Chains A and B, each alone.
Chain A
Amino acid sequence: MLNEENKNKLEELRKRYPTAQSLVLPVLWMIQEQEGYISEESMKYTGTLLNVSFSHILGVVTFYTMLQKKAVGKHHVEVCTNVSCLLRGSGKILEHIEKRLGIKSGEMSQDKKWSLSEAECLGSCGTAPMLAIGNEYYENLTLEKIDKLIDSMQ
């Protein structure tokens, strides 16, 4: 369910689009920000809210990488391993994080605090290697910087 603030936001956004279907992504974003991921129940809710079929919503959710189909850790770490980061040592960065967190890419820690995944280019090539946690970018990474970052968030 959207909270009051997001419900109001949605009503404002409706004025900007000729069809309610355009609001599928914005609503899914709101739900993900509220709940951390998009459950099947949330998809049905979105469909009812916007008068769009559940199968359409499911199609959209499964198309976009950033829409989480299951719960992720409190801190969802995404390490870019694309070319520019690869050239500047993203392999070692990923390895180090896996060791520090005790989980592999694609996994979540048992206490649900951390989840880890490899990401495609995040547009930070000039400050490679880098990782993102939520909306925050951490750039020009070194192993020491990663240690400090993980310690500060433990």
Chain B
Amino acid sequence: MNFQPAHTDAPAPWKRVILPDVPDMHKIDFYLANDGYKAFKKALDMKPDEVIDEVKKSNLRGRGGACFPTGLKWSFMPKNSDKQKFLCVNGDESEPGTFKDRQIFEFNPHLLVEGTLIACYAMGMTAAYIYIRGEYGKWIKMLQKAIDDAYINGFIGEKILGTNFSTNITIYRGAGAYICGEESSLMNSIEGERGYPRVKPPFPAQNGLWGCPTTINNVETISNIPVIINNGWKWYSQIGAVKHPGPLLVGVSGHVNNPGVFEMPTGEPLLEIIHKWAGGVPGNKGIKAVIPGGSSTMILRGDQLEGIRMDVDSLKAAGSSVGTAGIIVMDSDTDLLQVITRIAEFYYHESCGQCTPCREGTDWMFKILKRFEKYEARIEDIDLLMDIANTIEGNTICALGDAAAWPVQSMIRRFRDEFEKRAQSSNHP
């Protein structure tokens, strides 16, 4: 097995820290020889609040899609609670176009373990669960090996490294449900329930796993923690985009010559990522459309990509979001109606069925889009589709409803001509 990340030819002068250019980092000996667990030892010498403060000042934002400031999230955890506190690390990674956490499990699993330990220390947790999608059986084994080795070396368990701090880390294997990447579904899944999202409030920091204070962070987010502790918040906060700093794992897939996961500072120009990092579009074709951050983020027109950067503000201004930084590129020959139909089918399949607008709406959107795909659509179907998407958005317990609505809404707004052309050349059975 090749234990080097696939792409090492970064054009920008960026020395990778999440997926470093060091062979065999997945083995604990190599990790230790490269300053592994140094950040954890440093954190153990700090007060827990100092660690939280460091993360706060670093301006790290969550890498799971919502870009929520991590330090702020950590500070929501009650200080004087007599209940046990829990950490959940979200490695459900099921958003189409997203394949970054997998690289961490494979190439740098100890970084994730170390980050988990620091988070547990900072927030006073004695148990962490790393939730990984069921399909990643191979990567679960890789991470389990790293966890086992960390136990053997005394980094996890009782009275770690001679301190009074004790914690366990346990992997929880999902079983094929996109919705379990939603934090409250994830907690229900760990409790042995169907993965239904919970109504918020109460928020997890007050009432999470088994009714106890809980924080949920993405795998990549947690993997940034040792980097921050080792190098200090000042260094970290100056990497990339000011309001969304740090290294970012950007996945590029679809119509590019060199697809893969690339580590780069936030704020890199989207076009440069596509053309330089990912080697451009095969056959030098034009770009028709780009999904910038996983299938639920709003689709962008290929002729409006100039000036857009991979950070929270720039993508927001462009009418989309950074999401999970999973860029999907579509060349000029792409049938966008086939693409949006497949995306709609996905959300229809993954809707948990709790909320009527999402359960019924995703079904109807898929059915109507199928008519477009099969050249059986009517012109009034465009507005009908928009109406259904608007009825789902904002009217559901969790964000899956929005995630299903946004791609459809943005596709109609930005490519209405494609829908109209298809309706005009349709035959009605």
Contacts and interface: CB of A to CB of B under 8 A. Distances in A.
Interface stretch (B20-28, B326-334, B385-393): B326-334
Interface stretch (A99-107, A132-140, A141-149): A132-140
Contact of B349 (A59, A120, A122): A120
A7 B95 CA distance: 34
Chain A contact residues, majority secondary structure? mixed
B96 A21 contact: no
Interface stretch (B54-62, B111-119, B158-166, B170-178): B170-178
B166 to A, nearest CB: 13
Interface centre among A28, A64, A81, A132 (most CB of B within 10 A): A64
Contacts, number: 138
A63 B170 contact: no
Given A67-B175, A84-B253, A135 B137 contact: yes
Contacts of B342: 81-83, 86
A126 B252 contact: yes
Given A86-B339, A87-B328, A135 B138 contact: yes
Interface in B285-341: 291, 295, 326, 328, 330, 334, 338-339
Nearest to B95: A121
A120 B252 CA distance: 18
Nearest to B352: A63
Interface in B244-296: 251-255, 259-261, 291, 295
B175 A127 contact: no
B346 A120 contact: yes
A116 interface: no
Interface stretch (B190-198, B220-228, B230-238): B190-198
B65 to A, nearest CB: 14
Interface string A48-79: 00001000000110011111000000000000
A123 B191 contact: no
Nearest to B255: A87
A6 interface: no
Contact of A66 (B93, B135, B295): B135
B175 A65 contact: yes
Interface of A: 13, 16, 18-19, 21-26, 28-29, 52, 59-60, 63-67, 81-84, 86-88, 119-128, 132, 134-137
6 contacts: A24-B192, A29-B134, A82-B295, A83-B339, A83-B342, A120-B178
